[in-house]
Amino acid sequence: MDLFRLTATEAADLMRRRELSPVDLLESVLERTAATEPVINAVTEQWIDEARAAAAASEARIAAGEALGALEGIPLMLKDEQPVAGRLLEDGCLLEQGHIADETHPIVERIQAAGAVIHARTTTPEYCCAPVTHSKLWGVTRNPWNPEYTPGGSSGGSGAVLAAGSTLLATGSDIGGSIRIPASFNGVVGFKPPFGRVPGMAPFNSDTYCADGPMGRSVADVALLQNVISGPWVGDAASLREIAAVSGEVAPLRGTRIALCLDLGGYDVDPIVEANTRQVAAALVAAGAHVDEVTLPWGPERVLATAWPHFGAVMGPFIESIAEGDPARAEQLMPYTRAFAASAADGGDYVEGLVAESEFYRPFAELMTGYDALVCPTIATTGLAADEPCTDSRAIFSKLMTLPFNVIGRVPVLAVPSGIAPNGVPTGVQIVGRTYDDAAVFRIGAALERELAMWTDASWWPTV
C-alpha cells in the first residue's frame, strides 16, 4: 500500500506502534505531491527541508519513547490565508506578492506544538472571495476527480491536496462555505466550527460568520485536528473558554433524531444531489437513527437578503481598503473580488441585517427543539468549471447551500461526502448541529461513515 493513502488516524496508530516511520510517510506524500501538482496546481510553496527535519525529529522522539504530540509525525498542509511569521502571506493577490507575515496564527502554533510535519501551503482564491480557486498570482487550481472542474473555494487547495493524497491533513477557513464547498467537491471531510470555538486573528475573529477549521479524509482525522486547534487563546476575546472535545469513534445512533431538508426552502437542487442525499438519509436510518423530512422557510433569496448587509459591513470595506481608491490598484484585483465588493456595497442597512439574522435563526431553532441534527446537501449543483469567473456573486451563492449556516454561525457543521455525480465530481451533505453541540455532528458523521463505507474505502480515490 502507498503510504500516502493512509488516514491520519491510521498513520498515528502505526507510528505509535513503531510500525511506520514519519520519514517514510513524508517522502511518500512529497513524491505524491510532485506527481499531482502539474495537474491540480494546489500548492503555493513547499517547505521540504524543514519538513524532513521535523519528520526526523518525530522519528527520534518515537524511538526514544518520549511523550508524543497529538499530530506527531503527521504530514499537514496549511491554507495560505493563515499567517506564519517570516513566511510569505500573499492571499492570492498580485498586490500582496512577496509580502512576509510578521505573526503566526494561533492554530498554526498549536499544530506545530502537536508535532505535525508541515510541508506546504495551499492555494486560495484572491482574499478568499470566491467558491472557486483561481487567481492571477497562482493560476487555476483543479479538482483531482475531474480537472475540468473546480475543487471549490476558498479552501480549494486544501481540499484538492487531500483528495489527491498529497498530504494527510489540511487547514481551512469558512465565511460562506469555504471549508464545506471544497469538502463536497473533493470528496473529503471538513468541519465548520461554531463561532468562537477555534481562535482567530483580528478583524475576522470577531465576525460571527467566520471560522478556521480542520479538513481530512475521515471523520476521525478531522476530529483529531479539531481537538488540537480549538480552545481559548489570549489574543482572541471571542474564543470560548469551554473545551469541547470531539471524537470520530463510532457509536450507535439509537434514539438520535435527524431532520432531513432537501432544499432549505427553495434551492434548485440537482436530482443527483438529491438522490445522493436520500442515500445518506437511508444510511442513517440503517445506523439506528430516526429521520424525518422537514421544511425550512429560507431559500437563496432570503439567505442573500439576510447575509449581504453583513458582507457589506465587513468584507466590502476590507476589499475597498486594499485598492486604496487607486484605479490602477483596483485593476490588479481579480474580477470576482471587485464584483463581490460591489455586491456587498449594495447589501443594505447593517442594523436591519442584524434583525434579519435573528429572524432567520428562529425557525431553525424551533425545528431543532425536536432533533439532534439537520442533514441537507452542501451544494445544489454537481460542479463548477475550474475557471468559472464568479463575477455574478448572487447567482453563484444561489447554488451554495452553505451560507445559511454562516448566518447562524454558532452552529457546528460537519461536511461529508454523499456520492459521485456522473461528471466524476463528488457530492456532499452537511450535518448541522444545535448551537455549540459539536459532539453530536461528529457522532452522527462517524456512524454515517461506517454505514456508507464510501470515502474511507480503498476505491475512493481520483484518477489524477
Catalytic machinery residues: 79, 154, 178
DSSP 361-417: HHHHHHHGGG-SEEEEESBSSS--BTT-----HHHHHTTBS-THHHHTTTS-EEEEE
Residue 402 neighbours by CB under 8 Å, 6+ apart: 174, 176, 177, 180, 181, 192, 378, 379, 413, 430
In whole angstroms, what is the distance from residue 276 CA to residue 282 CA?
Answer: 10
Rounded to the nearest angstrom, the gap between the alpha carbon of residue 240 and the centroid of all alpha carbons in its chain is 20
Question: Among candidates 262, 304, 329, 461, which has minimal Cα distance to 392?
Answer: 304
Is residue 358 exposed (0-12), middle (13-18) or buried (19+ Cβ within 10 Å)?
Answer: exposed
Report the amino acid identity of residue 228.
V
Give me the residues paired with residue 118 across strands: 76
Residue 51 backbone phi and psi in degrees, to 5: -65, -40
How many residues appear in the chain? 464
DSSP class of residue 190 equals E
Residue 91 neighbours by CB under 8 Å, 6+ apart: 80, 81, 124, 126, 127, 128
Buried b (16+ CB within 10 A) or exposed e, 204-220: bbebbbbbbbbbbbbbb
In whole angstroms, what is the distance from residue 353 CA to residue 355 CA?
Answer: 5
